[in-house]
Structure formats: C-alpha cells, structure tokens
Structure 1
Amino acid sequence: MLTKKFLFVSVIILTLLFGFTSDNSSREANRILGIWQTEEKNLQIEMIEGDGYYAGRMIWFLCASGESMMFSY
C-alpha cells in the first residue's frame, strides 16, 4: 500500500514540476516579441511569432540624411 501511495504522490509532483517548467520556458522565449529600437534610435524591428519560429521585420528607420522611412506590410 505504501508503494502505491508513494508512486501516486511522485507522479503528481513530477506532473506539477514539468507543467510549471514548460510554461515558464515559453514565457521566457516570448520576451523577445514586440518592437525593439537600436541604441542609436535609428531603427525599429518588430519581432513576431509564427508556426514554431520567430521572425523580425524592419518597421522604421532613419536615413543618414535625416529622412524617416516607415514600412507597412
């Protein structure tokens, strides 16, 4: 009887541990999502998530001449 109880408790604990770990890792990976700007403040990149991958697209940049360029997709 003690073995069944121990096995049951072990399965519950492992399920909880792996459940929290996988949720936390996906949250950490999604921290990259959003709009990012360079330190020079002359470029903005939007990071998006697709079907199992991450991608970035340039949405705004400042030319050397001072002209502002925006992109719409």
Structure 2
Amino acid sequence: MGADYYKVLGVDRGAGDDDLKKAYRKLAMRWHPDKNSTNKKEAETKFKEISVAYEVARPSLSLCICCQD
C-alpha cells in the first residue's frame, strides 16, 4: 500500500488547492534542509516526502498529468 499523501501534508482528502498549498508551504519551511543544519539528513528525507505528496495530491496537477496523451 502506498503513502497517504494527504496525511503526509496533514490535510483532509477533500482539501482544495489552497489548503494543499498552505500545508505544503508550512511543512516545506519547517523541513527545508537549509533550515535544519543539525539534522540535515532527516530534513532532506522529510522535505522530499512532503514535495512528492504535494505534487501527487494537487487535483489541478493530477488532472493535467492524467489527461495528457
């Protein structure tokens, strides 16, 4: 079973673009490797996880990717 991207971002499954964006920005600022010099390795891992979750969970982006021929 794959990751629950909405859970990673801390939002409900029905969250819209604005809520996803706010959650992503908040987490990205918290876990950005440049802001976590003491635990850079963990920050890199979390930042990648958050970035992937955001890209997959965004409805507008998902529709664009799915509809391409």
Q: Which of the pair is proportionally richer in strand?
A: 1
Fold-level similarity (TM above 0.5): no
Higher-helix-fraction structure: 2
**Which of 1 and 2 has greater Rg?**
1
TM-score, scaled to structure 1: 0.33
